[in-house]
Amino acid sequence: MSEQRIEKIGNMQDTQGISGTLGTPEAPATPGMPDASDAPATPGTPDAPVTLEMPGTPEAPTTQGTQDASNMQVSTKTQLLSYGVIVLAAVCWGVIGIFNRTLTAAGFSQMQIAFTRCAVAFVVFGLFLLFTDRAAFRIKLRDIWCFFGTGVLALAVLNWSYFSAMQEMSLSVAAVMMYMAPVVVVLLSAVLFKERITGGKVVALVLVIVGAVFTTGLLGGAGDAVISPLGLCFGALSAVSYALYSIFSRFALQRGYSANTISFYSFAFSALACGLFADLPHYASNFTSPDIVLWGIALGVLTYAVAYTLYTAGLKNVETGKAAILATLEMVVATLVSVFVFNEPFGLTNLVGIVCVLAGIAVMNVKPRSHAR
């Protein structure tokens, strides 16, 4: 082969290498997309690729390895942030007892309290979106079943079935049955979303259920526990409906809807459904003072609007089953509120329950060790 031909081939290879590099779309320069690893955060794209491979791009092991490490760091930070917002949602749910006792003392029934949460969240969050995110109001009619599921089949049915279970059985039994919801979420997620049922999840579920038994006081007062067949049916329904919020929210996220959209329409549908059981003709008479009005507003904003929006946002980057298990921190917060706010006794069983819940969450996040050297 002549020297001119060798030089020509070399120039062609250099040209291909340069064009392969410069011809790669600059995805990181797109506004709002700081790195390719942020793709999983796009609604409706749960399994987006982390790296982009373009034909003709020359191999660069060192550069690619650096990019992969950077992508893994971004993904970890995003997941930790998602875990954080779910924990905050659990904290918001855990303090509901403060508002519940205040409004109950003012004459509200449990369904009226549930309606207050839904209605206030719908109005306040709707006004918030009107000034900050009007695009969140747009949905497709063919997807309305997702929001009917989150609002009616999940939130409204949960309130009705849980309060009905409490009327038929001991409060501790009703609470333990409702906290079986993560089991339902993990099973449904495995079937519907192909999420793996790992050993860590199974151990975590067992620990969380044991924690619920201890934390709610069921074990300590087992001799006084009241159980009825109808109550068990209501309890099972409360667990299923509790789980359905995560399931229908995942469906909505996969269709490209934001946490704001999902939350708003969930509040709308749940307010309409709960209103049917809230004895509305006598509802307004319970607001006897400005203080009660403020308590009602705070209840809806903190334990409904903020809590469910945070939880739904966290679902974007956390498996549905893991999110449900993480949300059981609500039990821990509720127990601490009962001790420090209402001066209720705190015994060994409560401590064991809290430790079990925390241990379950920790076990769920332990990654198996790699045997590669």
Mean pLDDT is lowest, of 59-68, 162-171, 295-304, for 59-68
Q: Give one DSSP letter per residue of 53-83, joined into a string.
A: --TTPPP-HHHHHHHHHHHHHHHHHHHHHHH
pLDDT in the model for residue 41: 42
Least confident segment among 72-86, 111-125, 353-367: 72-86
Is residue 63's pLDDT more than 70? no
pLDDT of residue 368: 60
Contact present, 141 and 196 (Cβ < 8 Å): no
- pLDDT tens-digit map of 64-82: 443 333 333 437 888 899 9
Q: What is the mean pLDDT of residues 163-184?
A: 89
Query: pLDDT by residue (tens digit) across 92-109?
Result: 999 999 999 999 999 999
Q: How confident is the model at residue 216 (pLDDT cuts 50, 70, 90)?
A: confident
Quote the DSSP letter at residue 250: H
Other CB atoms within 10 Å distance of the CB of residue 190: 15
Domain map (residue ranges) of the chain: 103-364
pLDDT of residue 250 exceeding 60, the answer is yes
pLDDT at 221: 54
Q: What is the largest CA-CA distance in the chain?
A: 100
Q: pLDDT tens-digit profile of 284-319?
A: 899 989 999 999 999 999 999 999 999 999 999 999
Per-residue pLDDT, 211? 93
Tell me which amino acid residue 27 is: A
Q: What is the mean pLDDT of the chain?
A: 82
The reported pLDDT for the residue numbered 215 is 87
Residue with more model confidence, 26 or 120: 120
pLDDT at 329 over 60: yes
Q: How many CB atoms lie within 10 A of CB 223?
A: 5
pTM over 0.85: no
CA dihedral over 227, 229, 233, 236, signed as positive or negative: positive
Tokens of 243: 């789980």
With b for 16 or more beta-carbon neighbours within 10 A and e for fewer, the 159-168 pattern comes to bbbbbbbbeb
Question: Percent of the chain beyond pLDDT 70?
Answer: 77
